[in-house]
Structure 1
Amino acid sequence: MQIDKRPRRLRYNSHIRDMVRETDITVNALMYPVFVVHGKGIKQEINAMPGIYRFSIDMLLEELKEVVSLNIPSIMVFGIPDHKDEMASEAYDKNGIVQQAIKAIKDRYPELVVTTDVCLCEYTANGHCGLVNNGMIVNDPSVELIARTALSHVEAGADMVAPSDMMDGRVGAIRRLLDKSGYDHIPIMAYSAKYASAYYGPFREAADSAPKFGDRRSYQMDPANAREALREIALDIEEGADIIMVKPALAYLDVIAKARATFNYPVAAYNVSGEYSMIKAAGMNGWIDEKAVVMETMTAIRRAGADIIITYFAKDVARWLITR
């Protein structure tokens, strides 16, 4: 007797579907990016990212009340300085905006895991992620300042640092400096496969970090390359990365999947500003069901292999998980 094979039996009702679901979203997977500026009483919406704001430290602490109440375990802090120069001096200033914010956040919310983006692009007058010499972004002098920046964040109280510059050797330089300075317990989440993507546009408005000349293709990865991503990830692991990241997420699900299949390390994926803004705009115009599309997107990123999703939708997702 031939058995009638009917996969739909496991889709018969919602309880059975829940029982056999292969991929799930939990609040523990979420990391919420925040932008902090100097001043007081500032909560400035970013035009290209509806619902996302630049906060002064006092207003950021108010924002984080909700983040903590939703049990989102971690944030990623981006700083926007008042002063920019060719040496990105506020990036590693002990009294810089990120350093001040870290101290305030850890004082108010010690349980919150504070991860910091480590880069120079918000702090350089030219908007590049490294120092410039004769029109070229120079690697090793940039790495020295990037490592100093990471150390200054950790000295302020950061729980984890995330170098995003894509300079060669920066993970190793950060690891050596942290270890030498007594912070061998601090993990590094490396932007290992960060692509020169068109999806970053809204972020560059948010962080005021668009390059003043040229582009970032000489250090960020070519969107056409996947095998190269595995080489970059392998190098970061060899240099001491504890978590590897793929950025952006949606157009690079294949790279996330390759990273998960190849390396036995936690994988993070950054659901970037352009991905956020496209969904947000379509939802605001009534073209899509925003909640359904966001949750499908989060599921896709997790299904591809991401353990951690850095997303501007983190608060929305956390609320929806409570009420589902």
Structure 2
Amino acid sequence: MSLPDPSDLSFRRFRRLRRTEGLRRLVRETRLSADDFIYPLFITYGRGVRRPVPSMPGVDQISVDQLPAEVEDLRRHGIGAVLLFGIPETKDAVASGAYDEHGVVQEAVRAIKAVDRDLVVITDVCNCEYTDHGHCGILIDGEVANDPTLELLARTAVSQAAAGADAVAPSDMMDGRVKVIRRALDEAGFTQTPIISYAAKYASAFYGPFRDAAESTPSFGDRRSHQMDPGNRREALAEIATDIEEGADAIIVKPALPYLDVVAEARVRFDVPVLAYNVSGEYSMLKAAALNGWIDERRAVLEALTAIKRAGAGAIITYHAKEAARWLAEEAGVPSAVRVAEPGD
């Protein structure tokens, strides 16, 4: 066996810069921080409610009165943005709870802003949590009707902006929704409210735990008539381009990990912020594997989130936000105000 010739300049020792943690940190290309994270919250009716979601360990449905404590916890973790989903007390065929001036999300926005004006509050604009059939819009002959649904989405976006939302995020995947919402916001005087569009939202198998948390499982059928087919990338890019033309200020790719190619291509092609949603199924898979002792949860979560950012996501919507923020602080040697007991401590 011949050893490398030290005088051969074509022989590179890449390992030199991997030898110690200090060197690895010095040359690291992609860095995570708490500033990258948006934390989803599931807001429900009632008082004193903090109801664990069985399929999402560590995630709760919470009532509006629990938000001041939640905001304080997010502040301690250094997380500066949330995404709100609502679970109303009653549901109907026209999702009236979604645009109710005193709906759970509208009241949640007010409650958050009353205790922290600087926390960025993004509101999900959809109907599935609010309809008695669990679909994303008006049903006609058993199918989701695109155009009649647009009015409901616009009313919802305006009501959320009126409550004080910093941005609205339509997730329904109806054609033309960004244009209609932008017009409605402008006509209502909310010209400064940005639209963060779920422009590439796939009909994914990874949404199951979310539907438990949001109580939004369809009573029949599925959402493949409006969410995107997993095999299509060019169509996703066309959807993104159209939403930007209609007035989207930023876009979301959902889910994140199975669609990193779409995240990467969107980052190259479009000059708007690209967000990625690290969805419930991605979260719960890692949680389940960790609880069974099959993976190192900390390493796996930070690796997954790093991959999402490396692909081009400027921000990541993730249920791991608090844990990841704490782990990153510990790695940086920051005195931990967010230290909590680990299993086995």
Q: Which TM-score band (shorter chain)?
A: over 0.9
Q: For residues 277 and 68 of structure 2, what CA distance do their matches in structure 1 show?
A: 23
Q: Match for 1:2: what amino acid? A: D
Partner residue of 2:202 out of 185, 195, 202: 195
CA deviation map 1:230-273 (0-9, x unaligned)? 00000000001111110000111111111111111110000000
- 1:15-26 matches, within 5 Å, as 15-26=22-33
Q: Given the alignment of the two structures, is residue 210 of structure 1 paired with residue 217 of structure 2, yes or no?
A: yes
Count of residues paired in the alignment? 324
| TM superposition shift of 1:28 | 1.0
Which residue does the alignment assign to 1:322? Answer: 329
- 1:173-252 matches, within 5 Å, as 173-252=180-259
Which residue does the alignment assign to 2:178? Answer: 171
- 1:140-155 matches, within 5 Å, as 140-155=147-162
| TM superposition shift of 1:63 | 1.8
Q: Given the alignment of the two structures, is residue 137 of structure 1 paired with residue 144 of structure 2, yes or no?
A: yes
Q: For residues 182 and 37 of structure 1, what CA distance do their matches in structure 2 show?
A: 29
| TM superposition shift of 1:175 | 0.8
The farther-off stretch of 105-114 and 62-71 is: 62-71
| TM superposition shift of 1:5 | 1.3
Q: Which consecutive unaligned segments of at least 5 residues does structure 2 have? A: 1-6, 332-345
| TM superposition shift of 1:18 | 1.1
Q: Which consecutive unaligned segments of at least 5 residues does structure 1 have? A: none
Q: Taking every aligned residue pair, what percent have the same amino acid on both sides?
A: 57
Q: Match for 1:160: what amino acid? A: A
Alignment RMSD (CA, Å):
0.8
Which residue does the alignment assign to 1:269? Answer: 276
Q: Match for 2:138: what amino acid? A: L
Which residue does the alignment assign to 2:169? Answer: 162
| TM superposition shift of 1:180 | 1.4
Q: Given the alignment of the two structures, is residue 122 of structure 1 paired with residue 142 of structure 2, yes or no?
A: no
Q: For residues 129 and 315 of structure 2, what CA distance do their matches in structure 1 show?
A: 24
The farther-off stretch of 6-15 and 124-133 is: 6-15
CA deviation map 1:177-232 (0-9, x unaligned)? 11111111111110000000000000001011011111100000000101100000
Q: For residues 207 and 60 of structure 1, what CA distance do their matches in structure 2 show?
A: 17
The structure number with the bigger radius of gyration is: 2
Which residue does the alignment assign to 1:67? Answer: 74
Q: Match for 1:281: what amino acid? A: A
Q: Given the alignment of the two structures, is residue 27 of structure 1 paired with residue 34 of structure 2, yes or no?
A: yes
CA contact (8 A) 2:67 2:111 kept: no
Q: Match for 1:196: what amino acid? A: A
Q: Match for 1:119: what amino acid? A: C
Partner residue of 2:59 out of 52, 69, 76: 52
Which residue does the alignment assign to 1:279? Answer: 286
Q: For residues 35 and 258 of structure 1, what CA distance do their matches in structure 2 show?
A: 31
CA deviation map 1:254-297 (0-9, x unaligned)? 11111111111110000000000000011111110000000000
| TM superposition shift of 1:60 | 2.6
Q: For residues 297 and 222 of structure 2, what CA distance do their matches in structure 1 show?
A: 32
Which residue does the alignment assign to 2:297? Answer: 290
| TM superposition shift of 1:2 | 2.3
Q: For residues 37 and 68 of structure 1, what CA distance do their matches in structure 2 show?
A: 22
Q: Given the alignment of the two structures, is residue 310 of structure 1 paired with residue 327 of structure 2, yes or no?
A: no
Q: For residues 25 and 187 of structure 1, what CA distance do their matches in structure 2 show?
A: 25
Q: For residues 22 and 149 of structure 2, what CA distance do their matches in structure 1 show?
A: 54
Q: For residues 131 and 246 of structure 1, what CA distance do their matches in structure 2 show?
A: 24
Q: For residues 67 and 114 of structure 2, what CA distance do their matches in structure 1 show?
A: 13
Q: For residues 78 and 299 of structure 2, what CA distance do their matches in structure 1 show?
A: 21
Q: For residues 187 and 29 of structure 1, what CA distance do their matches in structure 2 show?
A: 18
TM-score between both structures, scaled by the size of structure 2? 0.93
Question: Secondary structure at 1:51's aligned position in 2?
Answer: coil
Q: Match for 2:48: what amino acid? A: G
Q: Match for 1:201: what amino acid? A: G
